[in-house]
Structure 1
């Protein structure tokens, strides 16, 4: 199914959008920052060398995690430079690996070392977030970027046990949530749709077996007839 690139049926004013995005970023960093605080409390209260080593290891890992999440958010949700700026795809790869590369999820990345328009890169990173949620038990995410910045193709595949297209994600990217509202839990895919429209790109989801595929490519001009996606229809997507 290809998401609708027309104007969304639900809109947020600038204050609501910024508040929900801030809530999302805060949610992502609360856990590791809280772990750092706990580790510091252990250092203050414990004399045991073993417990102090445990606390230092906790602080070290949590600080690294918090830093990775903030660096990712800076590009995926933030301005990351002045209006009209470009972003190196290598930077997108680095922050994605820092954010999601762990024992649970393996990230494979194939993209040219090139500068792409800011909104295209922001869309790519937000699609990585969605790909991660498509495999809740972990697995392999493969990111491929081909074509030039003027006409790119993003193909992300998420393969793992219990893979599924995340609930409501297609409607949220289209800007038409069934509930008619957007909250902090739904803001990320809704924002991805806003970025897709700003980048004039269409996003399509499909699933086959244990693999979810997300494609993003330049949207067809308004009024252009697009052939129906027979394969997607056959799969009931």
Structure 2
């Protein structure tokens, strides 16, 4: 995937996320108003509220993962909030290590790596993201992993033939990392998965 295609895909991702976050925010505002009424204990309202919160969290996450990269710095609290919200109620937790601000393009790579690990950890688990001397290590720990060899080969540079839409992160991560001059390496075992860049 050439750099121009990666940039175009990122702009499309940014546009979609930007256009979706506004109506979802409006729905959430409407739910807050309904919550102030006498019928605030309605299970239907609770279900809709939970769904809107989940959708909002996914869009904020996708806006970073699939959106346009930049050198803008992202604070630790913002990254942790996005990761917490997107994994809330699920079987996956993400521990984000860096204490200092990180450029958005680096956080983008982290989020893409998280998506790759999440795909390969169907029973849930814990993902840890750390950075030492500018080198990132994203490690997934799970009772049992399911790392598809064909997908993990794409991370190492194999052609992404017949890639399903749910697996686009496996092709995008090495392409984006290559643009940042950061080769991707990965290891997979029964209980641990690691991606480095």
Could you say which TM-score interval applies, normalised by the shorter chain? Answer: 0.7 to 0.9
Question: Is 61-70 or 194-203 further displaced after alignment?
Answer: 194-203
CA distance in 2, matches of 1:103, 1:178: 29
1:173 aligns with 2:155: yes
- Alpha carbons of 1:103 and 1:87: their partners in 2 closer, same or farther (altered >3 Å)? closer
- The size of the alignment, in residue pairs, is 179
1:91 to 72, 78, 84: 78
Question: In the alignment, is the contact (CA less than 8 A) between 2:155 and 2:185 conserved in 1?
Answer: no
1:62 aligns with 2:48: no
The structural deviation recorded for 1:84 is: 4.0
Deviation sequence 1:61-91 (CA, Å, 0-9, x none): 00100110111111111126xx543333442
Unaligned segments of structure 2, at least 5 residues: 32-38
1:200 aligns with 2:181: yes
Identify the structure with the greater helix proportion: 2
Q: Which residue of 1 is the match for residue 129 of structure 2?
A: 143
CA distance in 2, matches of 1:178, 1:131: 17
CA distance in 2, matches of 1:12, 1:145: 25
TM-score (norm 2): 0.73
1:157 aligns with 2:139: yes
Question: In the alignment, is the contact (CA less than 8 A) between 1:165 and 1:206 conserved in 2?
Answer: no
CA distance in 1, matches of 2:46, 2:132: 40
CA distance in 2, matches of 1:68, 1:124: 16
| Aligned-CA RMSD value | 3.4
TM-score (norm 1): 0.62
Which fold has the larger relative contact order, with Cα–Cα distance below 8 Å and residues 6 or more apart in sequence?
1
Q: Tell me, what secondary structure is at the counterpart of 2:42?
A: helix
The structural deviation recorded for 1:95 is: 1.3
1:210 aligns with 2:191: yes
Question: In the alignment, is the contact (CA less than 8 A) between 1:119 and 1:196 conserved in 2?
Answer: no
CA distance in 1, matches of 2:113, 2:106: 11
Based on CA coordinates, which of the two structures has the bigger radius of gyration? 1
